[in-house]
Structure 1
């Protein structure tokens, strides 16, 4: 069970995730997080990744596997730590990677941490 204050702190992201959740074919709770799976529309609008986390909601275009889930659960922890500041912090980290001549996604410190902790 996640502490209430962490759930509340990440709730702006979760609310956005809950608004998008109905547009996925299935929804279930895994380790205290809503996991939404199966949607064609993200690819149609140019989304290139398998999953994205908004607060305590993981959105996965396909069926999620354990490796992706572990990775996305690190992002849930990041949302709990950063709260509503997470999206701008993630953007600043992305821009910082680009300004250093690095890859915008692969070298984003939030993604580096998620890969290191999850081994994915």
Structure 2
């Protein structure tokens, strides 16, 4: 019990960032649910808002501590296993997750790798996709990026032949 509480406390600053981002999504028609101790917020205008991001930064779902934001319920369901790996990473690293994730991406760029597909944290999270249905829903295909992983796509994004997805 004490360890469980500590995990929430340790990840709380990142969860606070997630809550700040979740509030406008929820207020603009998004839904919220608690799944396995994690707040999932999806739908509303989030799908439209994330399209304002540059193409490489678009997402189907994204995690901040114990808060997962998804463009819709389908994305939250399809990405759940992957995003819950990130929740565990936040529980282990707390706020250190932010600079370590960025550092892993920068290191991949320096060594000629892909900053997302070859990122240590993404490789760990993609490693949990074991069923063909989950892999297909998440846009994972063989031969792309690290360990055959392909980044999750936003609905409506066309696949990119070189990387598998946007």
Q: Which TM-score applies when normalising by structure 1?
A: 0.92
Q: Which has the higher contact order (CA 8 A, sep 6+)?
A: 1
For residues 105-116 of structure 1, the aligned pairs below 5 Å read: 105-116=116-127
1:32 aligned residue? 37
Are residue 81 (structure 1) and residue 88 (structure 2) matched? Answer: no
Moved over 3 A (4+): none
Please give the alpha-carbon distance, in whole angstroms, between the structure 2 residues aligned to 1:105 and 1:83: 20
Number of residue pairs aligned between Structure 1 and Structure 2: 120
Query: Unaligned stretches of 5+ in structure 2?
Result: 136-166
2:106 to 77, 80, 95: 95
Are residue 42 (structure 1) and residue 53 (structure 2) matched? Answer: no
SS in 1 for 2:6: helix
Are residue 61 (structure 1) and residue 71 (structure 2) matched? Answer: yes
Q: How big is the alpha-carbon RMSD for the aligned residues of Structure 1 and Structure 2?
A: 1.6
Between Structure 1 and Structure 2, whose CA radius of gyration is higher? 2
Q: Which TM-score applies when normalising by structure 2?
A: 0.68
